[in-house]
Amino acid sequence: MTPRPALHLLLGLLLAAPLAARAAPPVKTVAVVVDETVGTQAPPGSAPEAPEPSDEVATLLTRALMAAGWTVILPPPCPPIVRAPDARDLGRLANAAYVVFGRVRFSKHQLATFGGLNDDPTSFPATGVFELTVVSTADGVVLGASTGKLNVATPGAKGSDGLSRTNVSHDRTIHDIVHRFRKDELLTPVLEALEGHAPAASAQGGSR
């Protein structure tokens, strides 16, 4: 073989390798794209602060999926995903077989405007809402969707429900809501949708 064809072959292999890898994402790969913000409820008469980004729910999902044997992909930057076709496109771009996308909005409440806690200077209430959707990249099918409220079990009730442990800071309250109080509601629908679909995908050829 002359040097020139050998060089061409090498270049071809180098250029083709990423494309070949992109063509067939492993079955248990998932991109997690959750648009999360934490806002602060402004006291009466003051201007509201701009919400700041957060990744509490994305981290919860990432850890749980990794523990369940999934490869989680951090996809490239993209506009907020609000539709399944957009999620499918992102899944292809990120080389992920599935995409979990959604929205989480938390709000830190000022004590003076949160009923029942006005007299407790050590309470830091926070509430939120979430919506999560699971999409298959191969066909764009929505495999599962869930929505709900994010709060402690019984706001204002100290003691048995563990709320007193959350009365440390707003960030701790949000952390505890995501990782303790509402963990199952956030995780179960996503894991069930993915695990319910991945075995069927495996049986159809090992990769999608």
Partner 1 sequence: MSPRPRALAAAVALVASVPALAGRPAKSVMVILDEKTERVPNGRQAFKHPAPDQLTQALMAALMADGWSLVLPPPDAPKNDRRAARELAKKAGAAVVITGRVRLCEHPPQPKDDPVIFPLTGVVELVAASTADGVVRAAADLEQSLSLSDQPRGENSYAGKAGLLVERIKAALWPELSAGLAAHLAAR
Q: Which of the ranges 130-138, 152-160, 162-170, 187-195 carries the binding residues for partner 1, by CB under 8 A?
A: 162-170
24 binding partner 1? (CB under 8 A): no
Q: Which of the ranges 6-14, 79-87, 150-158, 194-202 carries the binding residues for partner 1, by CB under 8 A?
A: 6-14
**Please, what is the minimum distance in Å from the beta carbon of residue 133 to partner 1?**
18
Q: What are phi and psi of 117, to 5 degrees?
A: -115, 10
- DSSP-assigned letters across all residues of 99-164: EEEEEEEEEEPPGGGSTT-TT-TT---EEEEEEEEEEETTT--EEEEEEEEE--SSTT--STTSHH
Q: What are phi and psi of 157, to 5 degrees?
A: -95, 110
Q: Which of the ranges 72-80, 99-107, 147-155, 196-204 carries the binding residues for partner 1, by CB under 8 A?
A: 72-80
78 binding partner 1? (CB under 8 A): yes
11 binding partner 1? (CB under 8 A): yes
Residues comprising the chain, all counted: 208
CA trace torsion 50, 54, 57, 61 (10° rounding): 150
Judged by CB under 8 A, the number of residues near partner 1 is: 45
Residues that bind partner 1 (CB under 8 A): 7-8, 11, 14-15, 18, 31, 33, 52-56, 58-60, 62-63, 66, 71-78, 94-95, 110-112, 120-123, 168-172, 174-176, 179
